[in-house]
Amino acid sequence: MDKTKTTRNTAAKTAVLEILTQSKIALSHTEIQKQTNDLCDRVTIYRILDRLVNDDIIHKIVNLDGTVKYAKCHHHAQRVHIHNHAHFSCEKCLEITCLENVKPSYIIPHNYKVNEINFTLSGLCPNCLNSNN
Amino acid sequence: MDKTKTTRNTAAKTAVLEILTQSKIALSHTEIQKQTNDLCDRVTIYRILDRLVNDDIIHKIVNLDGTVKYAKCHHHAQRVHIHNHAHFSCEKCLEITCLENVKPSYIIPHNYKVNEINFTLSGLCPNCLNSNN
DNA sequence: ACTTTAATGCAACATTGTTGCAAGTTAAAT
DNA sequence: ATTTAACTTGCAACAATGTTGCATTAAAGT
Ligand SMILES: [Mn+2]
Ligand SMILES: [Mn+2]
Ligand SMILES: [Zn+2]
Ligand SMILES: [Zn+2]
Protein backbone atom coordinates (compact mmCIF):
# COMPACT_ATOMS: atom_id res chain seq x y z
CA MET A 1 0.00 0.00 0.00
CA ASP A 2 2.58 2.51 1.11
CA LYS A 3 4.09 3.09 -2.32
CA THR A 4 7.03 5.17 -1.08
CA LYS A 5 8.38 6.73 -4.19
CA THR A 6 12.11 7.01 -3.97
CA THR A 7 13.77 10.39 -4.21
CA ARG A 8 16.93 10.87 -6.23
CA ASN A 9 20.02 12.91 -5.71
CA THR A 10 20.59 15.29 -8.55
CA ALA A 11 23.05 18.11 -9.05
CA ALA A 12 20.32 20.70 -8.65
CA LYS A 13 18.92 19.15 -5.51
CA THR A 14 22.37 18.94 -3.94
CA ALA A 15 23.06 22.57 -4.78
CA VAL A 16 19.79 23.81 -3.30
CA LEU A 17 20.24 21.82 -0.14
CA GLU A 18 23.81 23.04 0.22
CA ILE A 19 22.67 26.66 -0.09
CA LEU A 20 20.09 26.13 2.62
CA THR A 21 22.55 24.28 4.84
CA GLN A 22 25.08 27.09 4.63
CA SER A 23 22.57 29.86 5.23
CA LYS A 24 21.96 31.13 8.73
CA ILE A 25 18.67 32.66 7.68
CA ALA A 26 15.63 31.39 5.84
CA LEU A 27 15.67 31.94 2.09
CA SER A 28 12.96 32.58 -0.46
CA HIS A 29 12.68 30.76 -3.76
CA THR A 30 14.05 33.80 -5.57
CA GLU A 31 17.00 34.15 -3.20
CA ILE A 32 17.85 30.51 -3.68
CA GLN A 33 17.58 30.83 -7.43
CA LYS A 34 20.03 33.73 -7.46
CA GLN A 35 22.56 31.70 -5.52
CA THR A 36 22.36 28.79 -7.92
CA ASN A 37 23.71 30.85 -10.85
CA ASP A 38 21.20 29.44 -13.32
CA LEU A 39 22.21 25.89 -12.65
CA CYS A 40 18.65 24.88 -13.34
CA ASP A 41 15.24 26.18 -14.23
CA ARG A 42 13.01 28.21 -11.94
CA VAL A 43 10.38 25.49 -11.94
CA THR A 44 12.92 22.86 -10.97
CA ILE A 45 13.75 24.81 -7.83
CA TYR A 46 10.09 24.90 -6.89
CA ARG A 47 9.91 21.15 -7.34
CA ILE A 48 13.10 20.51 -5.41
CA LEU A 49 11.86 22.63 -2.52
CA ASP A 50 8.59 20.72 -2.51
CA ARG A 51 10.46 17.45 -2.35
CA LEU A 52 12.76 18.58 0.44
CA VAL A 53 9.79 19.78 2.46
CA ASN A 54 7.94 16.53 1.86
CA ASP A 55 10.97 14.54 2.96
CA ASP A 56 11.16 16.69 6.12
CA ILE A 57 14.67 17.82 5.30
CA ILE A 58 13.76 21.49 5.25
CA HIS A 59 10.70 23.42 6.31
CA LYS A 60 8.59 26.16 4.84
CA ILE A 61 7.87 29.40 6.63
CA VAL A 62 5.12 31.82 5.67
CA ASN A 63 5.88 35.25 6.99
CA LEU A 64 3.40 37.85 8.28
CA ASP A 65 3.68 39.73 5.01
CA GLY A 66 2.98 36.60 3.00
CA THR A 67 6.50 35.97 1.77
CA VAL A 68 7.45 32.32 1.73
CA LYS A 69 10.85 31.16 2.89
CA TYR A 70 12.62 27.87 3.42
CA ALA A 71 15.06 26.82 6.12
CA LYS A 72 17.03 23.88 7.34
CA CYS A 73 17.38 23.81 11.10
CA HIS A 74 20.91 23.81 12.46
CA HIS A 75 20.36 21.99 15.71
CA HIS A 76 20.38 18.26 15.32
CA ALA A 77 19.85 16.59 18.64
CA GLN A 78 17.45 14.30 16.88
CA ARG A 79 18.15 12.82 13.49
CA VAL A 80 14.95 14.14 12.02
CA HIS A 81 14.32 17.77 11.31
CA ILE A 82 11.76 19.03 13.79
CA HIS A 83 10.32 22.44 13.21
CA ASN A 84 7.75 23.03 15.90
CA HIS A 85 9.63 26.11 16.98
CA ALA A 86 9.14 29.84 16.60
CA HIS A 87 10.47 32.04 13.86
CA PHE A 88 11.62 35.61 14.06
CA SER A 89 10.97 38.10 11.32
CA CYS A 90 13.02 41.31 11.49
CA GLU A 91 11.07 44.37 10.41
CA LYS A 92 14.21 46.17 9.38
CA CYS A 93 16.56 43.77 7.61
CA LEU A 94 13.65 41.48 6.69
CA GLU A 95 15.63 38.42 7.63
CA ILE A 96 13.83 35.42 9.03
CA THR A 97 15.56 33.17 11.50
CA CYS A 98 14.56 30.02 13.32
CA LEU A 99 14.27 30.47 17.07
CA GLU A 100 14.80 26.81 17.69
CA ASN A 101 14.53 27.10 21.46
CA VAL A 102 11.39 29.18 21.62
CA LYS A 103 8.27 27.07 21.85
CA PRO A 104 4.98 28.67 22.81
CA SER A 105 2.66 27.26 25.42
CA TYR A 106 -1.06 27.73 25.14
CA ILE A 107 -4.39 26.38 26.25
CA ILE A 108 -5.83 24.00 23.70
CA PRO A 109 -9.22 25.29 22.66
CA HIS A 110 -12.14 23.04 23.42
CA ASN A 111 -13.49 20.99 20.51
CA TYR A 112 -10.58 21.80 18.26
CA LYS A 113 -8.00 19.23 17.17
CA VAL A 114 -4.62 20.84 16.72
CA ASN A 115 -2.23 19.15 14.29
CA GLU A 116 0.25 21.88 13.59
CA ILE A 117 1.24 25.22 15.02
CA ASN A 118 2.86 28.27 13.53
CA PHE A 119 4.40 30.87 15.78
CA THR A 120 6.12 33.89 14.33
CA LEU A 121 7.50 36.84 16.25
CA SER A 122 8.36 40.05 14.49
CA GLY A 123 10.31 43.09 15.56
CA LEU A 124 14.03 43.83 15.61
CA CYS A 125 16.73 41.19 15.43
CA PRO A 126 19.90 41.49 17.56
CA ASN A 127 21.84 42.99 14.65
CA CYS A 128 19.34 45.70 13.91
CA LEU A 129 18.70 46.33 17.60
CA ASN A 130 22.33 47.20 18.28
CA SER A 131 22.97 49.31 15.22
CA ASN A 132 20.07 51.64 15.94
CA ASN A 133 19.71 53.69 12.81
CA MET B 1 3.51 67.53 11.69
CA ASP B 2 1.10 64.72 12.19
CA LYS B 3 -0.62 65.09 8.83
CA THR B 4 -3.37 62.58 9.56
CA LYS B 5 -4.98 62.04 6.22
CA THR B 6 -8.71 61.72 6.60
CA THR B 7 -10.50 58.60 5.51
CA ARG B 8 -13.82 58.81 3.74
CA ASN B 9 -16.93 56.68 3.93
CA THR B 10 -17.87 55.41 0.53
CA ALA B 11 -20.48 52.92 -0.60
CA ALA B 12 -17.80 50.35 -1.43
CA LYS B 13 -16.03 50.72 1.90
CA THR B 14 -19.29 50.40 3.80
CA ALA B 15 -20.21 47.28 1.85
CA VAL B 16 -16.86 45.59 2.44
CA LEU B 17 -16.94 46.37 6.13
CA GLU B 18 -20.49 45.10 6.43
CA ILE B 19 -19.52 41.82 4.78
CA LEU B 20 -16.66 41.36 7.22
CA THR B 21 -18.81 42.34 10.18
CA GLN B 22 -21.45 39.78 9.29
CA SER B 23 -18.99 36.96 8.63
CA LYS B 24 -18.09 34.55 11.40
CA ILE B 25 -14.96 33.48 9.55
CA ALA B 26 -12.09 35.31 7.94
CA LEU B 27 -12.54 36.09 4.26
CA SER B 28 -10.13 36.37 1.37
CA HIS B 29 -10.11 39.22 -1.11
CA THR B 30 -11.77 36.99 -3.68
CA GLU B 31 -14.47 35.84 -1.30
CA ILE B 32 -15.24 39.42 -0.40
CA GLN B 33 -15.35 40.42 -4.04
CA LYS B 34 -17.90 37.70 -4.81
CA GLN B 35 -20.14 38.95 -2.03
CA THR B 36 -20.09 42.52 -3.30
CA ASN B 37 -21.80 41.59 -6.58
CA ASP B 38 -19.50 43.77 -8.67
CA LEU B 39 -20.30 46.87 -6.73
CA CYS B 40 -16.78 48.06 -7.39
CA ASP B 41 -13.53 47.15 -9.05
CA ARG B 42 -11.17 44.43 -7.85
CA VAL B 43 -8.46 46.98 -7.20
CA THR B 44 -10.78 49.10 -5.12
CA ILE B 45 -11.37 46.20 -2.76
CA TYR B 46 -7.62 45.79 -2.31
CA ARG B 47 -7.34 49.46 -1.46
CA ILE B 48 -10.30 49.39 0.89
CA LEU B 49 -8.87 46.42 2.74
CA ASP B 50 -5.54 48.21 3.06
CA ARG B 51 -7.25 51.23 4.53
CA LEU B 52 -9.32 49.22 6.99
CA VAL B 53 -6.20 47.39 8.15
CA ASN B 54 -4.30 50.65 8.50
CA ASP B 55 -7.12 52.13 10.54
CA ASP B 56 -7.10 49.02 12.75
CA ILE B 57 -10.69 48.26 11.98
CA ILE B 58 -9.94 44.83 10.58
CA HIS B 59 -6.86 42.65 10.59
CA LYS B 60 -5.02 40.60 8.05
CA ILE B 61 -4.25 36.93 8.56
CA VAL B 62 -1.68 35.02 6.53
CA ASN B 63 -2.38 31.33 6.68
CA LEU B 64 0.14 28.49 6.71
CA ASP B 65 -0.54 27.80 3.06
CA GLY B 66 0.04 31.44 2.15
CA THR B 67 -3.57 32.43 1.63
CA VAL B 68 -4.41 35.87 2.93
CA LYS B 69 -7.63 36.56 4.76
CA TYR B 70 -9.23 39.45 6.57
CA ALA B 71 -11.33 39.50 9.70
CA LYS B 72 -13.08 41.84 12.08
CA CYS B 73 -13.04 40.60 15.62
CA HIS B 74 -16.39 40.12 17.28
CA HIS B 75 -15.45 40.69 20.88
CA HIS B 76 -15.39 44.33 21.80
CA ALA B 77 -14.51 44.77 25.43
CA GLN B 78 -12.21 47.54 24.30
CA ARG B 79 -13.19 50.10 21.75
CA VAL B 80 -10.21 49.38 19.56
CA HIS B 81 -9.75 46.21 17.59
CA ILE B 82 -7.01 44.20 19.22
CA HIS B 83 -5.79 41.17 17.39
CA ASN B 84 -2.99 39.69 19.43
CA HIS B 85 -4.86 36.43 19.56
CA ALA B 86 -4.52 33.10 17.87
CA HIS B 87 -6.16 31.96 14.68
CA PHE B 88 -7.36 28.54 13.75
CA SER B 89 -7.08 27.16 10.27
CA CYS B 90 -9.16 24.09 9.52
CA GLU B 91 -7.41 21.62 7.25
CA LYS B 92 -10.68 20.23 5.98
CA CYS B 93 -13.15 23.07 5.43
CA LEU B 94 -10.31 25.58 5.04
CA GLU B 95 -12.10 28.10 7.21
CA ILE B 96 -10.09 30.44 9.35
CA THR B 97 -11.49 31.68 12.62
CA CYS B 98 -10.22 34.02 15.31
CA LEU B 99 -9.58 32.29 18.61
CA GLU B 100 -9.92 35.51 20.51
CA ASN B 101 -9.31 33.93 23.89
CA VAL B 102 -6.21 31.94 23.01
CA LYS B 103 -3.05 33.86 23.66
CA PRO B 104 0.29 32.05 23.66
CA SER B 105 2.88 32.52 26.37
CA TYR B 106 6.55 32.25 25.56
CA ILE B 107 10.00 33.19 26.74
CA ILE B 108 11.19 36.35 25.06
CA PRO B 109 14.45 35.57 23.30
CA HIS B 110 17.47 37.47 24.49
CA ASN B 111 18.52 40.45 22.37
CA TYR B 112 15.39 40.42 20.29
CA LYS B 113 12.76 43.14 20.44
CA VAL B 114 9.32 41.71 19.79
CA ASN B 115 6.72 44.09 18.39
CA GLU B 116 4.14 41.73 17.03
CA ILE B 117 3.25 38.08 17.27
CA ASN B 118 1.43 35.73 14.98
CA PHE B 119 0.09 32.48 16.29
CA THR B 120 -1.82 30.13 14.04
CA LEU B 121 -3.06 26.67 14.93
CA SER B 122 -4.18 24.28 12.26
CA GLY B 123 -6.08 21.02 12.39
CA LEU B 124 -9.78 20.27 12.56
CA CYS B 125 -12.43 22.75 13.62
CA PRO B 126 -15.37 21.68 15.84
CA ASN B 127 -17.65 21.27 12.82
CA CYS B 128 -15.28 19.02 10.92
CA LEU B 129 -14.26 17.15 14.05
CA ASN B 130 -17.83 16.04 14.76
CA SER B 131 -18.83 15.11 11.24
CA ASN B 132 -15.93 12.73 10.80
CA ASN B 133 -15.92 11.93 7.11
C1' DA C 1 -22.15 76.13 -4.17
C1' DC C 2 -17.20 75.75 -4.02
C1' DT C 3 -12.94 73.60 -3.12
C1' DT C 4 -9.81 70.19 -1.73
C1' DT C 5 -8.18 65.82 -1.99
C1' DA C 6 -9.47 61.07 -1.00
C1' DA C 7 -11.38 57.30 -3.62
C1' DT C 8 -12.37 54.89 -7.85
C1' DG C 9 -12.05 52.55 -12.58
C1' DC C 10 -9.32 50.88 -15.91
C1' DA C 11 -5.44 49.19 -18.17
C1' DA C 12 -1.05 47.60 -17.79
C1' DC C 13 2.30 45.33 -15.30
C1' DA C 14 4.87 42.32 -11.76
C1' DT C 15 5.45 38.42 -8.89
C1' DT C 16 4.74 33.94 -7.50
C1' DG C 17 3.45 29.51 -8.20
C1' DT C 18 1.33 25.56 -11.18
C1' DT C 19 0.69 22.18 -15.01
C1' DG C 20 1.48 19.19 -19.21
C1' DC C 21 4.58 16.92 -21.82
C1' DA C 22 8.72 15.53 -24.20
C1' DA C 23 13.45 14.66 -23.22
C1' DG C 24 17.11 13.67 -19.95
C1' DT C 25 19.08 11.35 -15.86
C1' DT C 26 19.42 8.33 -11.72
C1' DA C 27 19.84 4.17 -9.59
C1' DA C 28 18.53 -0.35 -9.32
C1' DA C 29 18.16 -4.84 -11.70
C1' DT C 30 20.06 -7.92 -14.87
C1' DA D 1 28.61 -3.06 -18.34
C1' DT D 2 23.88 -2.80 -20.19
C1' DT D 3 19.32 -2.36 -19.66
C1' DT D 4 15.30 -0.44 -17.79
C1' DA D 5 11.79 1.79 -14.87
C1' DA D 6 10.49 5.89 -13.20
C1' DC D 7 12.13 10.01 -11.21
C1' DT D 8 13.65 14.56 -12.69
C1' DT D 9 14.20 18.45 -15.68
C1' DG D 10 13.33 22.24 -19.23
C1' DC D 11 10.24 24.76 -21.54
C1' DA D 12 6.14 26.94 -22.62
C1' DA D 13 1.85 28.15 -21.26
C1' DC D 14 -1.18 29.34 -17.80
C1' DA D 15 -3.33 31.07 -13.33
C1' DA D 16 -3.72 33.63 -9.15
C1' DT D 17 -2.70 37.49 -6.56
C1' DG D 18 -1.31 41.91 -5.89
C1' DT D 19 0.62 46.69 -7.53
C1' DT D 20 1.01 51.13 -10.05
C1' DG D 21 -0.11 55.31 -12.93
C1' DC D 22 -3.39 58.35 -14.29
C1' DA D 23 -7.62 60.46 -15.57
C1' DT D 24 -12.15 60.86 -13.48
C1' DT D 25 -15.48 60.84 -9.70
C1' DA D 26 -17.21 61.92 -5.33
C1' DA D 27 -16.92 62.88 -0.15
C1' DA D 28 -16.68 66.31 3.32
C1' DG D 29 -15.45 70.73 5.17
C1' DT D 30 -15.97 75.70 4.16
MN1 LIG E 1 12.76 26.68 11.60
MN1 LIG F 1 -8.50 37.75 14.59
ZN1 LIG G 1 17.37 42.64 11.40
ZN1 LIG H 1 -13.49 22.81 9.44
- The string of pLDDT tens digits covering residues A68-112 is 999 997 765 555 656 678 899 998 899 999 998 888 899 988 899
Report the number of distinct structural domains present in chain A. Answer: 1
Reply yes or no on whether the pLDDT at B78 is more than 60. no
Q: Scanning every residue of chain A, which has its alpha carbon at the shortest distance from the alpha carbon of B130?
A: A111
Tell whether the torsion through CA atoms of B102, A88, A63 and A21 is positive or negative.
negative
Percent of chain B that is helix, strand, coil (3-state, to 5): 30, 25, 45
Range of the domain at B52: 3-131
B66's enclosing H/E stretch is none
Q: Which residues contact A20 (CB under 8 A, 6 or more apart)?
A: A27, A32, A52, A58, A70, A71, A72
Residue pLDDT, tens place only, B20-60: 999 999 999 999 999 999 999 999 999 999 999 999 999 99
B1 touches chain A (CB under 8 A): no
Per CB-CB distance under 8 Å, the chain B contacts of A65 are 62
Q: Name the burial class of residue A2, with classes exposed (0-12), middle (13-18) and buried (19+) by CB atoms within 10 angstroms of its CB.
A: exposed
For position B105, which CATH number holds?
1.10.10.10
Are residues B16 and B49 in contact, defined by beta-carbon separation less than 8 angstroms? yes
**What is the percent of chain B where pLDDT is above 70?**
89
pLDDT score, position A110? 83
Per residue in B109-130, pLDDT (tens digit) is 889 999 888 899 989 999 999 8
Phi, psi of B44 (to 5 degrees): -60, -40
Task: Give A92 Cα–ligand 1 centroid separation in angstroms.
Answer: 20
Give the percent of chain A with pLDDT over 70: 89
Task: Check residue B132 and give its pLDDT.
Answer: 67
Consecutive H or E run containing B52: helix B42-54
What integer best gives the mean pLDDT of chain A? 88
Q: Which residues pair with A115 in a beta bridge?
A: none
Q: Is 70 exceeded by the pLDDT of residue B77?
A: no
Using the CB atom, is residue A15 less than 7 Å from strand D?
Answer: no
Rounded Cα distance, A25 and A88, in Å: 10
pLDDT at B101: 85
pLDDT of residue A1: 45
Calculate mean pLDDT across residues A121-127. Answer: 92
Does A122 contact B102 at a Cβ distance shorter than 8 Å?
no
A69 C-alpha to ligand 2 centroid (Å):
24
Task: Indicate the pLDDT class of residue B1, thresholds 50, 70 and 90.
Answer: very low
